[in-house]
């Protein structure tokens, strides 16, 4: 069958299945398999399908995914986040706007030790939201702060998105981590500024919110009862600082590679939980199950994306697309704006890792054709992906916060979308105007 | 229906065993890499062939045994904004069609990955590490097994959707851990 | 796949062949061997044969090209048999360390080994024993492998012992073990990062291949004048697929291979010269083996001999003609102008 017809059929099929609510990995598998059958018949399928699952999974670099997630799980289950947030709460006593700023910064710090955004968002939702609401934040704004703070894990290294991009494009993950550092901080700063504006507006119409403010008082009393001891707080802060020092110090001094940092991080997280006295069978069960589930999810999507990618290659879709884009290929900025618009829309609807994995077979050849820096591009789409974690209709960070706080996700999205839109315009604009924001650090680190 | 649930509980035990296997190998992999780092920095050198062993043994053992459990846990992303807004009858039909498609693709995968594994067995495929060959083909069999488990999960889902009115892609709720026998 | 569409010379059916490699499109074996070969084939068949190409793992990853050719996923590919010692245990023979050789010597010897009519065992030639499923077009080997470090120098035997180097093949691992070098294995993609942060000392690598990962800016000390083997490859097709091709197409392919074989050798040499110049400009130092302390030379040479014996024994223990093979390889290398340590001559 003619390639273009097959591409048309498959694209239509993907959209129908997406709307019908099929699992993303199944859509990728199905469209890949059906596309290959239409293009090549049944004969080639065994060769193309049989070895992909094993080859995709048997990768040293991919150990970072289960291990960074395990580290995040160990840290979350150890109660470290709660303790740290208690300190933040104390530090910002009486300064209500500072509490929001510090919450976002805690999100940034957690981002630096955790690979996955939703886990961080959920724990921020649990511990930070009652405090925020007690200090005059509307429930929606508090939810948006927790969700956007948690989403920062997507860009502040270590980040699963950066790892997946590095693996899929053979870009050194370490360089990507370093390159994402400044843009990650920028996203955080933008979130802080937008949050401050919202907080000011909210203060002016505060009387309306009286009724809602009754609820958090209860949460606050609970909080008072569970007040951790000073000794434990000191231990927690020392452990938190130690974890960061070990991971980043270890990578930069060459004691271990960014890949190995996953294992070291998880190990340190386990030690921390041991010191804090939180290790028991349930601790292991919860952290291991969560980690294996998340890893299984990423791997299923990766396997699907790999088979879909084989179809994309054989259909010559990237070449067709490059031909189609020919009139604007001479102007990389236009191509980039087109690509980032498409990606932004995809990240709105689809989970981030899935977007990266399914779009790279198509987009990467175009990126190489217009000679855009591969490292810069990885950082760039990770920023878009991070922002996508808080955009409607599918924003996993917002879902996580809504899930643990009981606030409707629609109302959080209303504010979170503004966070996202401003960050998208400012940070992506800056990245296009000054690519050095992503490339300068990795270049000088060598 | 009762028999269905009884059978499913038994099946669930297999999946639970799988995720524990994955979890335990994850811990071992963590320890192995940490030891490798320590050995390289403090003692003579890294574990010979450590990198290949992690890649070829640990990763498949961490990922595949737990795959069926992960699949049935509700963690897999999908876009369910539209489907939640259409009439239940139409939803149910869609879900059944999707399960059938999924089963078709899964059975292809089971067949081809099984062929791949048998092929590997025939050629006694291995990988070189630290100057010697390690057998690789036994691990290939993990893949058809884990995909077959997912196919079985889908069979249960198919029966459930045919029997019960309310459409679903999950046998148990997302909080299924609460009812786990562990 | 084969397209029915016409448009070839004199109304003949156009044959579209799918060609792939897991290597990057800039790799010397693709750019310097496969592409010229395909262009020459298209030329010689007046466009009757066309190639649809896939590089960088877009369709097949290293080292799956061989399998992909045999199961029909692709029609032709660059096959790197050294990566699969379980399937092609005798392919690593070209990685055996030598006293002297260069790309041309090793390439010619590799080609002769593949095309040799001489039987190794049971009436079978080297080709029969390893690659009988394939139609094989030998291409040049890499330039010789050297040891490069990010600063570690080999002034005494103690310096050598305990140095940690990345070992890209099984033979290097054996050699490292014999000489007290700690072997580190990690993907080449991660190597730059790990080396630049001092995670280990250096690597066995061919100078011409540095550019792929930017090693010309990283290594500061490279030992030349002793040689840690040559990586080999060939352009491969499935034997049956090959037999189906029209005779004139087969002839064109053989002729095209004849025409490009020499060209391919020179691309490695050009790349090596570029890399040496860039590395020296960045402060890199190249040290000749002959200028090393005699005890250090002796240490390295002993390792060479032991590696040959070890490899031959390994093959023999698997029922393969190990000694016959290494002697054949040694003689081919000598014939082409290469050198091996005295003790290897006595094997
Ligand atoms: Na992170
Ligand atoms: Na989104």
Give residue A221's pLDDT. Answer: 42
pLDDT for res B1: 66
The pLDDT value given to residue A147: 92
Residue of B nearest to C82 (CA): B128
Pick from C264, C241, C238, C231: which is nearest to C77 by CA? C238
A341, with CB counted inside 10 A (0-12, 13-18, 19+), is: exposed
How are beta strands C202-206 and C182-184 bridged, if at all? unpaired
- B125 interaction partners in chain C (CB closer than 8 Å): 86-87
- Chain A environment of C73 (Cβ under 8 Å): 44, 47-48
CB contact under 8 A, A17 and B112: no
Is residue C270's pLDDT more than 70? yes
Tokens of A38: 């239409």
The better pLDDT of the pair B165, C9 is held by B165
Indicate yes or no: CB of B126 within 8 angstroms of CB of C199: no
Res. C44: pLDDT tops 80:
yes
Distance CA C105, CA C340 (A): 13
Nearest CA-CA distance, residue A441 and chain C, Å: 14
State the distance between the two ends of chain B, measured CA to CA, in whole angstroms.
24
Q: Among A49, A288, A301, select the one facing B108 at the smallest CB separation.
A: A49
Of residues B32, B51, B105, nearest to A26 (C-beta) = B105
Is C87 an interface residue toward A (CB < 8 Å)? Answer: no
Query: Which letter, b or e, does each residue of C225-260 get, where b requires 16 or more Cβ atoms within 10 Å of its Cβ?
Result: bbbbbbbbbbbbbbeebbeebeeebeebbeebbeeb
- Calculate how close chain B gets to A326, using CA atoms only, in Å: 33
- Residues around the ion ligand 2 (C-beta < 5 A): A 348, 388, 391, 394-395
Is residue A89 within 8 Å of residue A95, measured between CB atoms?
A: no
Q: Report the alpha-carbon distance of residue A79 to residue A126 in Å, rounded.
A: 11
Encoded tokens for A172: 């050194």
The whole-angstrom distance between B37's CA and the closest CA on chain C is: 9
Task: Return the SS3 of B134.
Answer: strand
Percentage above 90 pLDDT, chain C: 69
* Calpha distance A170→A163 (Å, rounded): 10
Show me where the domains of chain B are located: 2-179
Q: Given B19, B37, B81, which is nearest A393 (Cβ)?
A: B81
CA distance B130 to chain C (A): 6
Burial of A33 (0-12, 13-18, 19+ CB in 10 A): buried
Q: How far is the CA of A394 from the centre of ligand 1 (A)?
A: 20
Q: Is B36 on the interface with C (CB under 8 A)?
A: no
Closest CA to A87 of A196, A225, A214, A238: A238
Q: Which of B48, B127, B136 sits opposite C183 (nearest CB)?
A: B48
What is the chain B residue with the closest CA to A393? B81
pLDDT tier, C256 (very low <50, low <70, confident <90, very high otherwise)? very high
pLDDT at A115: 66
User: Which residue bears the tokens 């292809």?
Assistant: B108
The CB density around residue A277, as the number of other CB atoms within 10 Å, is: 11
What residues are neighbours of ligand 1 (ion), with CB under 5 Å? A 111, 153, 156, 159
Query: What does the pLDDT read at residue A196?
Result: 92
Mean pLDDT of the region B155-160: 93
* Ligand (nearest to CA of A392): 2
On whether the CB atoms of residues C114 and C127 are closer than 8 A, the answer is yes
pLDDT of residue C337: 95
Q: Is C306 on the interface with B (CB under 8 A)?
A: no
Q: What is the CA radius of gyration of chain C?
A: 21
| N residues, chain B | 182
Of C59, C71, C187, the CB nearest to A60: C187
Q: What is the pLDDT of residue C267?
A: 86
Cis peptide before C63 (omega within 30 of 0): yes
Taking CB atoms and an 8 Å cutoff, what residues of chain B touch C175?
none
The HSE-up count of residue C277 (CA atoms within 13 Å, CB side) is 6
Give the pLDDT of residue A445.
65
Mutate which: A41, A292, A394, vs B, most B CBs within 10 A = A292
Nearest-CA distance C180 → chain B (Å): 10
Ligand 2 centroid, distance to A388 Cα (angstroms)? 4
Which residues of chain A are at the C interface, by a Cβ-Cβ cutoff of 8 Å? 40, 43-44, 46-48, 51, 55, 60-61, 170-175, 251-259, 309-310, 313-314, 316, 361, 365, 446
List CB contacts (< 8 A) between C187 and chain B. 51
Mean pLDDT of chain B: 88
> What does the pLDDT read at residue A228?
67
Predicted-complex ipTM score: 0.85
Per-block mean pLDDT, blocks of 10 residues, chain A (446 long) = 87 89 90 92 85 90 86 85 79 80 86 72 81 85 92 86 83 85 94 92 61 42 57 82 85 82 92 91 94 88 86 84 82 86 81 79 85 91 90 81 82 92 92 90 73
- Tell me whether residues C189 and A170 touch, CB distance under 8 A: yes
Q: What is the pLDDT of residue A116?
A: 66
What's the confidence (pLDDT) of residue B68? 96
Specify the DSSP element, H or E, that contains C77: strand C76-79
Distance of CA A229 to the CA centre of its chain: 33
Residues of C in contact with B123 (CB under 8 A): 86-87
Is C61 touching B (CB cutoff 8 A)?
Answer: no
Give the best residue of B16, B35, B43, B63 to mutate against chain A (max A CB count within 10 A). Answer: B63
Give the pLDDT score at A206.
Answer: 56
The answer to whether residue B129 neighbours chain C at the CB level (below 8 Å) is yes
Segment B5-17, tens digit of pLDDT? 899 999 999 999 9
**Counting Cβ atoms within 10 Å, is residue A324 exposed (0-12), middle (13-18) or buried (19+)?**
exposed
Task: Say whether pLDDT at C7 is over 70.
Answer: no
Q: Which residue has the higher pLDDT, B182 or C145?
A: C145
Q: Which residue in chain B has the smallest CA separation from A18?
A: B79
Model confidence pLDDT, tens digit, residues B45-63: 677 778 889 999 999 999 9
Question: Per the CB < 8 Å rule, is B66 touching A22?
Answer: no
Can you tell me which residue has the tokens 């090959």? C242
What is the least distance, in Å, from the CA of C326 to any CA of chain A? 33
- What is the reported pTM? 0.85
Please spell the DSSP secondary structure of C5-62, one letter per residue.
---SGGGPPPEEEEEE-SS-TTSHHIIIIIHHHHHHHHHHTTTSEEEEEE-TTSS--T
DSSP-derived pairing of the beta strands C145-149 and C49-54: unpaired
């Amino acid at each position: 069958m003619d390639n273009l017809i097959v591409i048309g059929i498959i694209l239509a099929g993907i959209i129908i299945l997406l709307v019908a609510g099929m699992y993303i990995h199944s859509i990728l598998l199905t469209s890949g398999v059906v596309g290959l059958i239409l293009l090549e018949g049944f004969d080639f399928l065994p060769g193309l399908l049989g070895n992909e699952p094993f080859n995709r999974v048997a990768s040293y670099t991919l150990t970072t995914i289960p291990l960074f997630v395990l580290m995040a799980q160990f840290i979350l289950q150890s109660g470290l986040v709660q303790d740290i947030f208690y300190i933040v709460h104390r530090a910002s006593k009486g300064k209500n706007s500072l509490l929001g700023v510090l919450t976002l910064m805690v999100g940034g710090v957690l981002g630096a030790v955790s690979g996955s955004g939703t886990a961080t968002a959920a724990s921020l939702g649990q511990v930070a939201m009652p405090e925020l609401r007690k200090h005059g934040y509307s429930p929606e704004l508090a939810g948006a702060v927790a969700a956007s703070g948690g989403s920062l894990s997507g860009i502040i290294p270590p980040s699963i998105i950066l790892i997946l991009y590095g693996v899929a494009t053979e870009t050194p993950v370490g360089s990507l981590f370093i390159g994402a550092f400044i843009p990650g901080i920028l996203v955080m700063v933008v979130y802080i500024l937008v949050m401050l504006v919202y907080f000011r507006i909210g203060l002016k119409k505060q009387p309306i919110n009286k009724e809602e403010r009754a609820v958090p008082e209860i949460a606050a009393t609970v909080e008072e009862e569970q007040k951790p001891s000073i000794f434990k707080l000191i231990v927690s802060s020392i452990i938190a600082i130690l974890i960061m020092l070990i991971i980043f110090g270890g990578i930069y001094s060459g004691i271990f590679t960014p890949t190995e940092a996953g294992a070291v991080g998880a190990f340190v997280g386990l030690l921390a939980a041991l010191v804090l006295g939180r290790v028991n069978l349930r601790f292991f069960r919860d952290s291991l199950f969560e980690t294996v589930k998340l890893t299984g999810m990423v791997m299923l999507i990766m396997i699907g994306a790999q088979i879909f990618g084989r179809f994309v290659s054989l259909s010559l879709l990237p070449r067709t697309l490059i031909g189609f884009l020919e009139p604007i290929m001479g102007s990389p900025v236009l191509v980039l704006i087109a690509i980032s618009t498409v990606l932004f829309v995809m990240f709105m609807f689809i989970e981030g890792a899935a977007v990266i994995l399914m779009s790279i077979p198509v987009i990467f050849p175009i990126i190489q054709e217009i000679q855009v820096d591969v490292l810069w591009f990885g950082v760039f789409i990770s920023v878009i992906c991070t922002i996508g974690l808080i955009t409607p209709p599918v924003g996993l960070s917002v879902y996580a916060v809504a899930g643990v706080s009981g606030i409707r996700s629609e109302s959080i999205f209303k504010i979170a979308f503004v966070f996202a839109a401003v960050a998208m315009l400012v940070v992506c604009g800056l990245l296009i105007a000054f690519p050095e924001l992503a490339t300068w650090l990795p270049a000088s680190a060598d | 229906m009762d028999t269905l649930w009884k059978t499913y509980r038994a099946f669930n035990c297999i999946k639970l065993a799988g995720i524990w296997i994955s979890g335990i190998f994850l811990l071992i992999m963590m320890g192995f890499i940490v030891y490798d780092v320590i050995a390289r920095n403090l003692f003579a050198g890294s574990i010979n062939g450590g990198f290949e062993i992690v890649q070829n043994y640990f990763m498949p053992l961490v990922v595949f045994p737990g795959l069926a459990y992960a699949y049935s846990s509700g963690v897999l992303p999908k876009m369910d904004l539209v489907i939640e807004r259409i009439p239940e009858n139409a939803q149910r039909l869609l879900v059944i069609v999707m399960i059938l498609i999924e089963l078709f693709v899964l059975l292809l995968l089971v067949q081809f990955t099984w062929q791949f594994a048998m092929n590997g067995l025939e050629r006694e495929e291995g990988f070189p590490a630290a100057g010697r060959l390690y057998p690789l083909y036994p691990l290939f069999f993990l893949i058809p097994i884990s995909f077959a488990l997912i196919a079985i999960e889908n069979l249960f889902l198919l029966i459930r959707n045919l029997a019960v009115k309310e459409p679903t892609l999950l046998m148990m709720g997302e909080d299924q851990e609460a009812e786990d026998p562990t | 796949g084969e397209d029915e569409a016409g448009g070839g010379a004199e109304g003949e059916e156009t044959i579209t062949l799918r060609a792939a490699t897991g290597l990057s499109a800039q790799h010397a074996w693709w750019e310097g061997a496969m592409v010229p070969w395909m262009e020459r084939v298209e030329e010689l068949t007046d466009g009757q044969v066309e190639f649809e190409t896939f590089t960088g793992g877009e369709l097949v990853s290293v080292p799956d090209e061989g399998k992909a050719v045999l199961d029909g996923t692709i029609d032709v590919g660059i096959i790197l048999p050294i990566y699969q010692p379980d399937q092609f245990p005798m392919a690593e023979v070209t990685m055996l360390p030598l006293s002297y050789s260069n790309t041309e010597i090793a390439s010619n010897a590799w080609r002769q080994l593949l095309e040799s009519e001489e039987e190794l065992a049971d009436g079978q030639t080297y080709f029969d024993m390893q690659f009988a499923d394939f139609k094989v077009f030998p291409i040049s080997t890499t330039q010789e492998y050297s040891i490069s470090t990010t600063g570690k120098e080999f002034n005494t035997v103690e310096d050598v012992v305990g140095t940690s180097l990345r070992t890209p093949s099984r033979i290097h691992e054996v050699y490292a073990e014999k000489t007290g070098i700690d072997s580190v294995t990690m993907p080449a993609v991660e190597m730059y990062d790990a080396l630049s942060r001092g995670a280990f000392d250096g690597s066995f690598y061919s100078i011409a291949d540095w550019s792929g990962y930017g090693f010309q800016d990283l290594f500061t000390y490279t030992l030349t004048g002793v040689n840690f083997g040559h990586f080999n490859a060939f352009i491969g097709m499935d034997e049956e697929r090959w037999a189906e091709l029209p005779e004139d197409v087969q002839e064109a392919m053989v002729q095209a291979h004849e025409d490009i074989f020499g060209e391919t050798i020179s691309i490695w040499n050009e790349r090596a010269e570029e890399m040496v110049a860039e590395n020296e400009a960045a402060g890199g130092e190249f040290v000749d083996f002959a200028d090393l302390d005699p005890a250090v030379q002796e240490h390295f040479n002993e390792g060479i001999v032991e590696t040959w014996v070890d490899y031959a024994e390994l093959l023999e223990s698997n029922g393969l003609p190990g000694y016959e093979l290494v002697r054949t390889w040694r003689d081919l290398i000598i014939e082409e102008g290469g050198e091996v340590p005295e003790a290897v001559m006595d094997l």
